[in-house]
Structures are given as C-alpha cells and as structure tokens.
Amino acid sequence: MQAQRAVIAAIEFQPGVPLVQQIVDQLSEAISQGGLPHGAKLPPIRELSELMNVGKSTVVDALDRLRAKGLVVSRQGSGHYVHRAGTQPPTAAAPDLQPQDTLSRVRRAILVDNGALRPGCGFLPGSWLPAEDLLKAVRGTLRATSLRMGEYGEVGGYRPLREALRVKLSTVGIEVPVEQIITTANTMQAIDQLMRLLIKPGDTVLLDDPCYFNLHTNLALHGAKVITVPRDCTGLDLETFERMLIAHRPVLYMTNSTLHNPTGHSFSAAQVYRLLELSHRYGFHIVEDDLYGDLQQRRTPRLAASGLDNVSYVSGFSKTLTANSRVSYAVLSPQLAARMINLKMSIGGVTSELAEQITCTMLSNGSYAKHIRRTVDRLYESSSRVARWLAEAGCSVSSVPGEGLFIWARLPNGLHAETLADKGLKNDLVLAPGAMLSKAADANSFLRFNVAHSDDPQVRERFFRLLDT
C-alpha cells in the first residue's frame, strides 16, 4: 500500500478549483496511467484525509464520484479498491443499425443539434425562447413546498396546471371541468393513447395530406388502415371528403384545426360546422390536434368548442415554450377521460409533476402569454422576409402568408426535394422534403421551411448554393 500512499500524497491542489473535483481528476489520471493499479486497496478514509490534508467529508465526496465513474469499488467491511475495466482490442466499427434512406437521415438530423442549420425542423430556435422566465420558473418550483419529490403525483396531472389550462381553454371557447383535462408527457403520447382507446386493428383512419410524419408510423403500429385526404392552404374539399367517408367508413379523422402543419390553414366557422355535421352523420370521431394554435394571429373556431361527444382535443407546449418541456394535454368527454386515466395507470404513463409545475408557473404569472405575443409578431416579420428570399430562389409559397411557424414552398420546376435534402445534409443544412410529410405524387416538389430558423442569412446563402449545384 506504500506505493498507493505515495501517489495520493503527491496530489497538489490549485486555487480556484473545488478540492473534490481536483482529487477526482488526479486520482482518475493515476488509475488510467497505472499509478494506482487495478485491484489495489486504498488507505482508509481517515488516512486519505491526512495524506491529502483535506476534510473527511471531502474524501467521501470524491470516493462517491469515483464510484460513479466506475473507477473505485467498495466492499462491505473491507474498504475501497481501484477498479479499472480491462481494455478491449480494437474491432471493426459497429454497423449503423439506423435506416440510411434520405428521409430517415433527415428526421434524425432535425432532432440532433450537431451545429448544422435546421430550417426543416419543427420547433423554435433557442434564442426565441423565454430563457430567463423559464429559469425563474424552474428555481421557484424547486424552492416551493408544493414540490412532492417522493410522490408520483395525481394520475390526471398536476391539478393547478389543469386549472390554468381550463382557464386558457375557455379563451378559445372550450368550456370543460378540470376532470376532463388529462396531462401527458407529449402530444404524440396523447394521440397514441387515444389511438389505443378509439381504434382496433383493421379500422380505417383519415389523415390530412400533408401531415406530421409520425402519424403514419404510429397508426401502422396500431394496425390501422390509413386513407389520406388532400389539404392545402384553402382547406379540404368537403364534397370529396364526404365521398371518402361513404367509400371507406373511417372510425377516426385526425387533423390540425388551426395552423395546419405545414400549410398554415385553419378551419373557418363554416368548415367547422360542416365537419361536425359529417362526424355525427357518418359516426366517426375527430382528434383535433391544436399544437400550433397559440401561434395564430387571427382567431378561428375550434372543433371541440361545440362539444366533446365526437371530438377529442390535444395540445401542448413543445412547439411554443421549449421542445424539452414535453408537457401536453388532452381534453376529452367524461367517459373517454375516465378510460384514459385507467390507461395512464396501467402503462405507467403518470407524468412529471416537476415539468408540469414549471409550465403552470409560466401560465399563471403571465410570462407565457407575453412570450407568445412576442413570438407571433416575430413569426409574422420573419415569414415575410423568408417568403421574399424563397421567391428570389424561384420557389412559390403554397401556405397561408404570415401565419404560423411554417412556409410550404413549391420548388422551381425540375428540382427534387429529397435530392436537395440529401445534398443539404452534406453541407450542414437540414431541409424537410415534402415526401416526409406527404404521400401525394408531387410531394417531392415541396419543402417545408421553419420561418424562425430560416430567417437567417446563412440559411439563405447555403440554400442558394444548393440550387446552383
């Protein structure tokens, strides 16, 4: 043990760096260099304290961190021992098991911040988020006595948040008691749970085309038969829609009622009335996804405002507050709400009360509303600038001007969106080709642009460079 004592006694401390961190760093290096060999027993805590001239609590903290790094193991009644995993001989690189087609690579690149520009993503840039307000809400939540660290929380979700959501929903005409508002970890989880409750394998489901790409994947996992109905910046052709209802008898129609992704269309009062009338006549349920509704400039009616017998409403904060917040909710009929509560319990879907309390604080103190007003104005201004440079590039806008997060742009003749997206990945520019969102024959004539990320001279410059090549 003399050799170990010599190595430990040789540790020198520098001012300005925590003692615990210096001990961990220097002992880690000694273990990796072999100065403290694998299996060597370390001196007792009291002796370590004397050798390094530090307090025993400092030694205990350092040993805890070394254990967490897998460099030290403790044996009951025996002490602490060096543990260095044996090195393995180099092997061939492990195969990449992820799909390598362009669309799959684009989806992964959209989610990962690797320094690339991401005009094809679906969320706000970090610089647009209310960082200081969020940090205040986090700090306030951690200090609050209402944070129950040792509890799961209420199955339906943090009740004060649901009360704040009830008030928020009333501003768009949806009047419901708190018991019919159920929180979920994210909007896609809410939709997935509704799929479990509303469809069975072989059922037919109607989807807008284009639409969020994960819906097709998720419905396939549930064994549903998917029929797409064309939707553009003017909405649906409701006569064609009715003919599809007669031909296919769907049990469910899933749609964005406001700021449709990616065309930006919102249903008018007449279209809402007609859709509700059709849902009652043909007996299908509507899942109303209102994830982008808070970014709307001109208010339009929600389907759920007319009642929840044939409509379930889903929304959340991942696109408006922070992509990492993952707080969403469903507004359901009493019967469906009870079933979802049971489903949440059976699948371990109880949500994080910590995240819900933070969101509740943002809603209750007015900082969320202030952030939304500022964001809507910025989106309108950015949309105009992005539309201008897209026009310079020869693209035409096929979405509602100035509304929402996206521009759905038709490429100049002869250009193929997936080919551009593939080239973009090689140039650190992540584009969203139309085929990622649409099953239509001409899908690869379109790209979806996130105006908040695209209002950037670097995005414009790289996109023009792609077109030139």
Give, for all 469 residues of the chain, the pLDDT tens digit.
677 777 788 888 888 888 899 889 988 888 888 888 888 888 888 988 888 888 999 989 988 998 888 898 988 878 888 887 655 555 566 677 777 888 888 888 888 888 899 999 999 999 999 999 999 998 988 887 766 766 777 899 999 999 999 999 999 999 999 999 999 999 999 999 999 999 999 999 999 999 998 899 999 999 999 999 999 999 999 999 999 999 999 999 999 999 999 999 999 999 999 999 999 999 999 999 999 999 998 899 999 999 999 999 999 999 998 887 789 999 999 999 999 999 998 988 788 888 999 999 999 999 999 999 999 999 999 999 999 999 999 999 999 998 999 999 999 999 999 999 999 999 999 999 999 999 999 999 999 999 999 999 999 999 999 998 7
How far apart, in Å, are the Cα atoms of 29 and each of 11, 12, 85? Answer: 11, 13, 14
Other beta carbons within 10 Å of 392: 10
Tell me whether the CATH fold assigned to 1-82 matches the one assigned to 102-122+370-468: no
Angle made by CA atoms 278, 283, 284, in degrees to the nearest 5: 80
- Please report the pLDDT score of residue 90 as a whole number: 55
Q: Where are the alpha helices (DSSP H) in 265-333?
A: 269-282
Tokens of 238: 């409701």
147: Cβ–Cβ under 8 A, 6 or more apart, which residues?
A: 141, 353, 354, 357
- Please report the pLDDT score of residue 2 as a whole number: 75
Closest CA to 317 of 120, 192, 184: 184
- Please report the pLDDT score of residue 218 as a whole number: 92
- Please report the pLDDT score of residue 130 as a whole number: 92
- Please report the pLDDT score of residue 237 as a whole number: 95
Closest CA to 207 of 218, 196, 108: 218
Spelled out in words, what is the top-level CATH class assigned to the domain 131-365? alpha beta
CA distance 316 to 218: 19
Spelled out in words, what is the top-level CATH class assigned to the domain 1-82? mainly alpha
> What ranges do the domains of the chain cover?
1-82, 102-122+370-468, 131-365
Which fold does the domain 102-122+370-468 belong to in CATH?
Answer: Aspartate Aminotransferase, domain 1 (3.90.1150)
**pTM, two decimal places:** 0.84
Give, as one character, the DSSP assignment of residue 36.
S
Closest CA to 182 of 167, 161, 206: 161
Query: Whose structure tokens read 């001989």?
Result: 89
Query: Is there a contact between 156 and 183 (Cβ–Cβ < 8 Å)?
Result: yes
Q: Is 316 exposed, middle or buried (0-12, 13-18, 19+ CB in 10 A)?
A: buried
Q: How large is the greatest C-alpha to C-alpha distance in the chain, in angstroms?
A: 89
Q: Is 178 exposed, middle or buried (0-12, 13-18, 19+ CB in 10 A)?
A: middle
Do strands 235-236 and 225-232 pair parallel, antiparallel, or not at all (unpaired)? antiparallel
